[in-house]
Amino acid sequence: MFCGTAIGMASSASVNSTSTIACKIALIAPAGANLGNPMTYLAKPKLHHPSLTQNKVCHNRRDYEGRISSLCAGCGHDSISAAIIQACFEMDVEPHRVAKLSGIGCSSKTPDYFLGNSHGFNTVHGRMPSVLTGANLANRGLLYLGVSGDGDSASIGIGQFAHVMRRGVNMTYIVENNGVYGLTKGQFSATADQGSKSKKGAINTDTPIDMISLALQMGASFVARSFSGDKQQLVPLIKAAIAHQGAAFIDVISPCVTFNNHPGSTKSYDYVREHNEAVNRVDFIPPRAEIVVDYAEGEVVEVEQHDGSVLLLRKAHGAHDVHDRIAAMNYVATHQAKGEVLTGLLYVDDEAVDLHHHLNTIDAPLFSLGVAELCPGPAVLAKINAGLR
């Protein structure tokens, strides 16, 4: 009737991060706020929910975000980034006190997508652990987040992985484990289960490396496994790992939606949900906070860490003693043989010590020492020489 209604449906308009403690080694200065975006995606709007609150260091959760992710939509790695953001917000972490280090891979790209105001370093493939070790030695004052993939850590980087755990470097080391080299289009990685099927139909014949067993064997003092699709479990584990003063390792199964989310894969959303066996649920209680969770006796184990934080473990599956390294190794191996994916906190040493302790370094970060301290003069040299005679 009205000519004016003859308007078609397609009528739309087409239309600081400066560290207070300068690092002497090559930590890349943080990128600051979201700079321009090379992808066609929009930057995530800065508007936030009106009810968003600030933490003790005056940041809201959104302040811990990074640039918008360029990973495939639905990649498990993005959920892990979100969990890290949540954990750092809840822990009142000061962004400029964090160094994020990673290697190469889709997983290793993720530090660009969280903590945009923190320090970051991308190493060559599989070499993140040695750079992290060096950074930690030079400046023990930062919080170290190592973010890696199963290819980066279990294939090319397995040697470095073993040594960083052996040395007990104080860090939170997260492997975003999808069983494939996502970035190079889905070849099996060293964690792919024997007999599992690639997207094209090839069967993996190699024996898988279990990162948890390896970390336990190499001496990591905090070992946990989780699933990118279960933030309720993952966030408290990351918080506990951050509080842990030693080598903390979390193996996070993180489905690659593009190359490893099909039937026949053992790292798909469906497979992990079906085979997930949660050993326990962790509640992280920061130091000096009151424990208000009430629980029946025998149901929950309290673990106090060095910094005074407490982990409340609600046991969900069998009677596993998280303080027993050998039992943990057995436990993991037994369940693995049954095809189950054990998740939760598997081992923690509440008396853990770290590399600086082993080396008996001074409390001040080494980079902060001046010429006077580093070159104490001929008299001291003479004394040292005398001691060697």
Partner 1 sequence: MRPTDIGNPDYFHQVVDCQWACPAHTPVPEYIRLIAAGRHDDAYMVNWVSNVFPGILGRTCDRPCEPACRRGRVEENNGEKPEPVAICRLKRVCADHKQDVRARMPKIAARNGFRIACVGAGPSALTVARDLAPLGYQLTIFDADPKAGGFMRTQVPRFRLPEAVIDEETGYVLDLGVEFRSATRIDSLKDLLAQGYDAVFIGSGAPRGRNLDLPGRSEAAANIHLGIDWLASVSFQHIDKIGRRVIVLGGGNTAMDCCRTARRLGGEDVKVIVRSGFAEMKASPWEKEDAQHEGIPILNYLVPKSFEHDQGRLTGMHFEKVRAELDAKGRRTLVPTGEPLLLVECDDVLIAVGQENAFPFIERDIGIEFDEWNMPVVDKVTLQSTLPKVFFGGDAAFGPKNIIWAVAHGHEAAISIDRMLAALDIHQRPAPTVNLLSQKMGIHEWVYDNEVARDERYSVPWAAKELTLKSVKVEVELGFDLATAIKEASRCLNCDVQTVFSREVCIECDACVDICPMDCISFTLNGDEATLRQTLTAPALNLSQSLYVSDLVKTGRVMVKDEDVCLHCGLCAERCPTGAWDMQKFLIEMTHAGTGCGGGHTQRKAA
Q: Which one among 27, 75, 272, 285 touches ligand SF4, defined by CB under 6 A? A: 75
Closest-CB residue for ligand SF4?
A: 182
In terms of Cα–Cα distance, which of 81, 60, 112 is closest to 234? 81
Question: Is residue 140 within the footprint of ligand TPP (CB under 6 A)?
Answer: no
Residues linked to residue 148 through DSSP beta bridges, in sequence order: 175
Give residue 108's identity as a one-letter amino acid code.
S
Residue closest to 115 by CA, chosen among 84, 139, 148, 78 = 84
Query: Residue 189: what are its φ and ψ, rounded to 5°?
Result: -100, 180
Least Å from the CB of residue 47 to ligand SF4: 12
Site string (269-308) toward Mg ion, x via CB under 5 A: ----------------------------------------
**CB nearer to Mg ion: pick between 104 and 243:** 104
By the rule CB under 6 A, 71 interacts with ligand TPP: no
Distances in Å between the alpha carbon of 320 and those of 88, 116, 122, 159? 28, 38, 37, 30
Residue 73 one-letter amino acid: A
Instruction: Quickly list DSSP for 66-80.
Output: -SPP-SPTT-HHHHH
- 8 Å CB contact between 245 and 305: yes
Residues 104-123 that bind ligand SF4 (CB under 6 A): 106
Output the smallest distance, CB 318 to partner 1, in A: 23
Contact between 297 and 303 under an 8 Å Cβ cutoff? The reply is: no
- Identified binder of ligand SF4 from the candidate list 257, 278, 285, 310, rule CB under 6 A: 257
- Binding to partner 1 by CB under 8 A, coded x per residue (else -) over 75-104, reads xx-xx-xx----------------------
Q: Angle of helix 158-167 relative to helix 128-138, nearest 10 degrees? A: 30
Select from Mg ion, ligand SF4, ligand TPP, none the partner in contact with residue 71, using the beta carbon and a kind-dependent cut-off of 5 to 8 Å.
ligand SF4
Identify which range of 101-109, 203-211, 253-261, 319-327 contacts partner 1 by CB under 8 A.
253-261
Torsions phi, psi for 118 (to 5 deg): -110, 175
Task: By CB under 6 A, tell whether 150 contacts ligand TPP.
Answer: yes
Q: Within positions 61 to 80, which residues make up the interface with partner 1, using CB under 8 A?
A: 62, 72-76, 78-79
Cα–Cα distance measured from residue 169 to residue 297, given in angstroms and rounded to the nearest whole number: 36
Give the footprint of ligand TPP on this chain (CB under 6 A).
104-107, 124-125, 149-152, 156, 176, 178, 180-184, 189
Give the footprint of Mg ion on this chain (CB under 5 A).
149-151, 178, 182
